[in-house]
Amino acid sequence: MRWNQDHQSGDVIDARGQGSPGGRGGLRLGLGGVVIVGILSVVFRTNLFALFDGGALPSPGTSAARAPQRAANPQEDQQVRFVSFVLDDVQDNWTRIMPALGRPYRRAQLVLFTDAIDTGCGAADSTIGPFYCPADQRVYIDLGFFRELRSRFGAPGDFAQAYVLAHEVGHHAQRLLGIEERTRQAQAQNPSQENELSVRLELQADCFAGVWAKSTQQRNLLESGDLEEALAATAAVGDDRIQRSAGRRVRPETWTHGSAQQRESWFRRGWSSGDPQQCDTFSR
């Protein structure tokens, strides 16, 4: 991917090396608890996350924070500049296209962390991979995940990494469009459909990532092999692939993100159309 290697985003919070504060009072949530509290918040129409300790990161809208001085790591510093560029490029694209969907775009922040972090959705660690927290409207990534994407999932390349970030920002777009809230309400009303609705939400984020990828082609940012890198990444993180790689039986009823084929297919749909309105996974 062609990108400005001197780019720095004002929407990146660098919390690497800070860890999860701990010992500060308040309760802690695992990611399973995040889902439960999110559903209960919808049911009772109140923000129950306020009962939990969300950590000491700046509030949304404040300027980016910097972690304490660390030893120089040129490779990791370049990685930070890359995700900064991709974050801004994805969000600039949403700023252009979202008014046509009837909503203005409000920028999310990206939090870089190491090992563990306190979020608006509770405590989390790097084992869950990159994620979006709707409570504080931030994307969280431990940069070590990109090494796993290459070595564990067999999806190398910078555009594979860009797809991951575009997918997570896609969840932010769903939040702004009201899709995420409607889905959580539907899950609360129909618990038996919780996994299926989760899959539809994730596949739509894949499609949104494909819409952004199409824009990079139109702006001549793609290099040879970039699209193949993204497609390899979508397939590598399919629920069926992950279950097989863990030595487990493939059980579609347990999926939360979709199969390799589904994820690749919806990314391709976004890529082919370049139109987020073609990403309606809920009526197909």
Residues of the chain above pLDDT 70, percent: 81
> Within a domain: residue 19?
yes
**Rounded distance, CA 95 to CA 104, Å?**
7
> Within a domain: residue 76?
yes
Predicted local confidence at residue 24, as pLDDT: 36
38: confidence class by pLDDT, cuts 50, 70, 90:
low
Residue pair 32/190 in contact (Cβ under 8 Å)? The answer is no
> Within a domain: residue 211?
yes
> Within a domain: residue 159?
yes
Q: What is the pLDDT of residues 235-266, one digit of tens each?
A: 988 888 888 888 888 998 989 999 999 999 99
> Within a domain: residue 244?
yes
Residue 11's φ and ψ, nearest 5 degrees, are -105, 10
> Within a domain: residue 90?
yes
Q: What is the pLDDT of residues 138-177, one digit of tens each?
A: 999 998 888 888 888 888 789 999 999 999 999 999 999 9
Structural domain that includes position 159: 12-278
Predicted local confidence at residue 282, as pLDDT: 94
**Rounded distance, CA 19 to CA 125, Å?**
9
Rounded to the nearest 5 percent, the helix, strand and coil shares of the chain are 55, 10, 35
Task: Give Dmax over CA atoms of the chain in angstroms.
Answer: 51
Predicted local confidence at residue 53, as pLDDT: 43
> Within a domain: residue 283?
no
Q: Is 255 exposed, middle or buried (0-12, 13-18, 19+ CB in 10 A)?
A: buried
Say how many domains are in the chain.
Answer: 1
**Rounded distance, CA 6 to CA 278, Å?**
34
Better-scored residue on pLDDT, 91 or 42: 91
> Within a domain: residue 261?
yes
